[in-house]
Amino acid sequence: MTVRYCVKPYSIDEVKPGMEIGRMVLTQDDKVILSEGTVLTETMLQGLRFWHISTVFIKEELSPTSKIDFSIPETAVQKKFYAEYEVTVNTVKNAFSKIRFFKDVPLTDMQQLASCAIEPLINSTGVINHLNMVRRQDDYTFHHSVNVAIISGLLGKWLGYTGAEIKDLVLAGLLHDIGKTQIPLEILNKPGKLAADEMKIMQNHTTRGYKLLQEKHELPAGVVHGILQHHERFDGSGYPLAVAGSQIHKYAKIIAIADIYDAMTSDRVYHRKNTPFEVVEMIVEEMFNKLDPEIVAVFLNNVRDYFIGNIVELNDGRQAEVIYLGQFMAARPIVLTEDKEYIDLEQNKTLSIVKVVSA
């Protein structure tokens, strides 16, 4: 008879020697402390407390008749992230509102926000999962600006950027849509598809952002290029200048990926968000013509680590845990359902993931 298992969260005070780790344990800067499958010892528990780990996921054997309980309580790390994230979004909202009327970017304030508020969010364990669970339809532009800054900074870290490069990249991500403050609100907030003339006005946000910042001589050129070029595409099909390949600044190439990922995984008035699995597959399709393939490869190889263990809802109403993604990231992973059925969604095309329940 096949033995079935589930993975459940435990407070560090409830964990005992002899228990088996069900999900890898990471530090705040995403370094692995313990791998999945490790059997805990007292020394390891002392190490977890030293690293201030508050919650550990433990692998447990299931009884033959039981259903898997996928409910996962919100952790202290998540609560802290959500609180700091909300404050940051509100700060961006207030700043962008002032820029709309006064047409001047408070650059020092934005730099301080990027450094003191957004960089700590980037370093939060599980940041990609947190972002996927805090999306909301209202105030999309402000949430999107913060999210793109976070994802750009994280991708920059994966690419090996440090110091001033990371700070400039995060700032460029935060301000990438600053030109939208100069787009009429009736177009910006239109609850439906834009007409051709409206789309042309909307696309002007890249050049309008550039014009808002071109007099800020203390701003690094890379930040300005990241804002101007984030809708340029690798094959020359983007805007506003239709430049291609090496003519596009590296910050713009990074922001383009972060922009697409966040936009497609967000709820908007006219667009229901896609699952991260679907969006990553869309990015794969774009990686050899629209996006820089080397940067996309780094993004895919790192972002996949966040999706193992996600609790998802299938189109038949069942909940399931993502347990395996395969060699290359795909929209159809292997899942374990609440009634203990292992399903390879790549093989079973009648089932699909409709949403992420918890991450």
Strand, coil or helix: what is 19?
coil
H helix intervals, the chain: 42-50, 76-102, 107-113, 119-122, 127-133, 140-158, 163-174, 185-188, 196-203, 205-213, 221-229, 250-264, 276-286, 293-303
Q: Are residues 87 and 204 in the same domain?
A: yes
What average pLDDT does the structure give for the chain?
Answer: 88
CA nearest neighbour of 224 among 255, 187, 258: 255
**Would residue 68 count as lying in a domain?**
no
Tens-digit pLDDT profile for residues 177-195: 999 999 999 999 888 889 9
The model's pLDDT over 229-263, given as tens digits with 9 standing for 90+, comes to: 999 999 999 999 999 999 999 999 999 999 999 99
Nearest in space to 212 (alpha carbons), one of 107, 92, 96, 103: 103
Strand pairing report for 311-314 and 334-337: unpaired
User: What is the pLDDT at residue 290?
Assistant: 94
Query: Is 233 strand, coil or helix?
Result: coil
CA dist 327 and 325 (Å) reads 7
Collapsed DSSP state (helix, strand, coil) of residue 210:
helix
Residue 301 falls within a domain, yes or no?
yes
> Residue 197 falls within a domain, yes or no?
yes
Q: What is the pLDDT of residues 319-333, one digit of tens each?
A: 999 988 866 566 788
What CATH number is attached to the domain comprising 47? Answer: 3.90.105.10
The candidate with the shortest Cα–Cα distance to 322, out of 30, 23, 40, 39, is 23
My answer on whether 349 and 223 are in the same domain is: no
Residue 3 scores a pLDDT above 60: no
Q: Which residue has the tokens 């100069």?
A: 182
> What confidence score (pLDDT) does residue 1 get?
45
Weakest mean pLDDT among 4-8, 97-101, 201-205: 4-8
Check whether residue 50 and residue 136 sit in a common domain.
no
151 lies in the same domain as 80: yes
Tell me which of 8 and 97 has the higher pLDDT: 97
The total domain count for the chain is 3
Residue 203 sits in the same domain as residue 327: no
Is the dihedral angle over the CA atoms 78, 81, 84, 90 positive or is it negative? negative
Residue 82 placed within a domain: yes
The DSSP-derived string for 143-193 is HHHHHHHHHHHHHHHHTT--HHHHHHHHHHHHTTTGGGGGS-HHHHT-SSP
| Residues sharing a CB contact under 8 Å with residue 23, sequence separation 6 or more, in sequence order | 7, 36, 57, 308, 309
Q: What is the pLDDT of residues 281-333, one digit of tens each?
A: 888 888 788 999 999 999 998 998 888 889 999 999 999 999 888 665 667 88
Find the CATH number of the domain harbouring 225.
1.10.3210.10
User: Is residue 69, in this structure, part of any structural domain at all?
Assistant: no
Residues 17 and 82 in one domain: no
- Give the pTM: 0.81
Could you tell me if 37 and 140 lie in one domain? Answer: no
Q: Are 320 and 335 in contact (CB under 8 A)?
A: yes
Asked, for residue 67, whether it belongs to a domain, the answer is no
Is 143:89 a contact under the CB 8 Å cutoff? yes
**Domain of 340, in residue numbers:** 308-358
Residue 243 belongs to some domain of the structure = yes
In 3D space, the residue among 251, 179, 240, 232 whose CA is nearest the CA of residue 208 turns out to be: 179
Radius of gyration of the chain (CA): 22
Say yes or no: 226 and 121 in one domain. yes
